[in-house]
Structure 1
C-alpha cells in the first residue's frame, strides 16, 4: 500500500483538498486553510502529495463534477477520500483485479455455483471466483485465477487432473479438495484421499486427507491439520475465522461485498480474529470487527471502506 495514503498529515491534506474544491467554501475556510498550510513544512509537502494523488485519479473528474452539482459535501468528501484511497492503496482504478477477465467460468460477488466439467468432475465455485478448463487427451487442467473452488474429481487413470493457481499446481490423486486463491496466497485443503502440490519455488508435497497447506511469495508453508468444517463453511454461506490475521480477514470479506476494504494502518493487520460470519452480512461483520478490536471504519460513499486504528 502507498504510504502517502496512510500518512495522517496527508489524510488531513486530503480533507482540505476536498473542502477547497467545493463551490461553497467560505472566506473563513480559505483563511484557515492558508494558516494550516503555513504552519508546518510537512503540511505543504502533504498538500503536494494530495494534489499528486488526485491528479493520478483524473479519470473520476466527470463523476466528481456530477457530485458537485448534487449531493451534500459529506458525499463529495467521501467520494474523493475513497477515490484517493483506492489509487493510494491499489495503484489505480484499472489495477483493481483484472485477473480472470476472460475466464471461462466466473461467479459474481455473493454467488455460489456448481459447474459440471467434461470428464464428469464437478467444481463448486465460491463468491467472486474465476477459472478456465483446458482438457486434452493427455491431461485435464484447470486454471483458477481467483477465489475458491471445491473439486470433486472423477477417476481417470489415463489423464491427470491438475489445478493451477498462482505459482503452483495441485494434482488430484483420486480425491475431493478445496483450493482458495485470495490476496496472492493459495491454500489447498484435502477432504478425501490425497493431492500432490508442486511449484517452481518449492519441492513437491503429497498432502493427505484432513490436511492443508498454503503457498505464495514466500514459498510453501508447513502442512497443518485442517478443520474441514471451517474450510468448507463457505459452501453453507458462512465464513469461519480461527486466529486469522485481520488483514486476511478483510481480504476474505472483500470477496463478498461491493467496494474495496483498505487497511490504512499496517500495524493492526496482524491482530488475530476468531469469529463466524454470514457471507450475506459483511457490513455487520465489519462492524463487529470494529466493535471487538477497537478499530475505526470510514465508509467512503460505498466505493471503499477504510479501516483505521481507533484513537
Structure 2
C-alpha cells in the first residue's frame, strides 16, 4: 500500500537528525534532543531509522556537508515524509551526477537520437549523458550514465569504442545496447558482435555475439545470457519490461525515469520477484501498482524522496 507520510516520531527524528548534523547545534539543542529521546522508546527506534536513511543517501552527503558550512539548517527546512535534508537537495543531487558537462544528454523519461560525425547513430534513454572523442585513428564515446543504443557505420580504419563503467566495448558489427547501473554495466548485442575489454587486465577480453548480453563491474565479467531482443529494445518504445526481476533492481530502474531517489529501507524485500510492463513516462504510477500487488509499503511515492518498506 502507499502512504503519503510517515509516523510522527519518524518525522521528528528526521528533524532532530538534521539539526544535530549542523556544526552550529548548541548545547541547548542537544539537551532538548536528549529529553525528546527519553520520552519514548519509539523515539530511539525512529532516530535509528533516520540514521539508516542518511547512510543510504550517499550521493548527497559531500554536497550537504559543504552546504552546512554556508548556512544554518533549520528544522523547518526538513522535507517531512522524505529524507531529512534541505530544500536545496534536488539541485545538489543533480550536480553530483556524472556527465554534467557531457556532449549529449537527455532529461527525465526523454529519448533522443543523435547522428554522430561518422554517420553512426546513438539513441539515448532517460537521464543519459555521453561524451564524444572522435579522432583520425579512432571513434570513441564515453557513456557517463544511463542507456544508449548504437547503430554503427562501418569504418575498418577507425574502430568504434564505447567506454562505460571501467570497460571498453568495441563494435565488431552494427547494433548494440549499453546500460549503466551504479558501478556495473550491461551490454546487449542485437546485430553481429562486440568485444568487451575491462580496464582491469586480470580479466580477459570477451566477445559478445548477437542476441546475447553480458554484465560486468568491479567483480569482473558475468556469464553471458541469451536475450529476447524485444525486451532489450522495449525502452525505445517507452516501455520498461521486468521478468522475475528482483525488487531492488526494479526500483533502481524506475529511479531513472523520475525525478528523485527511491530508497529501499528493508533488504528483506529486495529480492521479491517482479514481472510487469510499465510505461516509462509514468514511473510514479508504477510505484503505486507495485505497492498494490506486493507486500510492501511505499512512503511518499510522488515525492522527491520515496522510501520502500516491507509490510
Q: 1:63 to 1:192 in 2, by over 3 A?
A: farther
Matches within 5 A, 1:259-278: 259-278=260-279
Tell me the equivalent position of 1:15: 11
How many angstroms apart in 2 are the aligned matches of 1:300 and 1:287? 7
* CA displacement, residues 230-285 of structure 1 (integer Å, 9 cap, x when unaligned): 11100000000111111111111111111211111122112121110011121221
Q: Residue 182 of structure 1 aligns with which residue?
A: 181
- Where do 5+ consecutive residues of structure 1 fail to align? 1-10, 22-30, 68-75
Following superposition, the deviation at residue 287 of structure 1 comes to 1.3
1:167 is aligned to 166
1:290 and 1:296 in contact (8 A); partners too? yes
What is the distance in 2 between the residues matched to 1:219 and 1:248?
19
- Residue in 2 aligned with 1:111? 110
- Which residue is equivalent to 2:125? 126
Alignment CA distance shift 1:192-1:34 (3 Å) = same
TM-score scaled by structure 2? Answer: 0.77
| In structure 1, C-alpha distance between the alignment counterparts of 2:299 and 2:156, rounded to whole Å | 54
Partner in structure 2 of residue 144 of structure 1:
143
Query: In the alignment, is the contact (CA less than 8 A) between 2:103 and 2:132 conserved in 1?
Result: yes
- The answer to whether the 8 Å contact 1:37/1:44 transfers is no
State whether residues 123 and 151 of structure 1, in contact with CA within 8 Å, keep that contact through their aligned partners in structure 2.
Answer: yes
| Residue in 1 that maps onto 2:23 | none
After superposition, the CA RMSD in angstroms is 3.5
* TM-score, normalised relative to structure 1: 0.77
**Distance between the aligned counterparts of 2:184 and 2:127, measured in 1?**
16
Question: Runs of 5+ in structure 2 lacking a partner?
Answer: 1-6, 18-31, 55-60
Asked whether the equivalents of residues 82 and 301 of structure 1 are also in contact (C-alpha less than 8 Å), the reply is no
Cα-to-partner distance string for 1:155-181 (whole Å, 9 max, x where unaligned): 000000000001111000122000011
In structure 2, how many angstroms separate the alpha carbons of the residues matched to 1:83 and 1:233?
32
1:301–1:208: structure 2 CA closer, same or farther, 3 Å change rule? closer
- Which structure's relative contact order is higher, taking Cα pairs within 8 Å and 6+ residues apart? 2
Structure 1 residue 258 and structure 2 residue 259: aligned? Answer: yes
- How far 1:49 sits from its partner (Å)? 7.1
SS of the residue aligned with 2:287? helix
1:13 and 1:47 in contact (8 A); partners too = no
2:83 equivalent in structure 1: 83
State the alpha-carbon separation in 2 of the partners of residues 208 and 101 from structure 1: 33
The alpha carbon displacement at 1:35 in A equals: 7.4
**Matched positions, count:** 274
CA deviation digits over 1:87-130, x for unaligned, max 9? xxx9x945874201110110000110000000000000001100
Question: Separation in 1 of the partners of 2:45 and 2:125?
Answer: 47
Q: State whether residues 162 and 172 of structure 1, in contact with CA within 8 Å, keep that contact through their aligned partners in structure 2.
A: yes
C-alpha change, 1:117 and 1:261, in structure 2 (3 Å) is same
User: Structure 1 CA distance, aligned partners of 2:243 and 2:255?
Assistant: 18
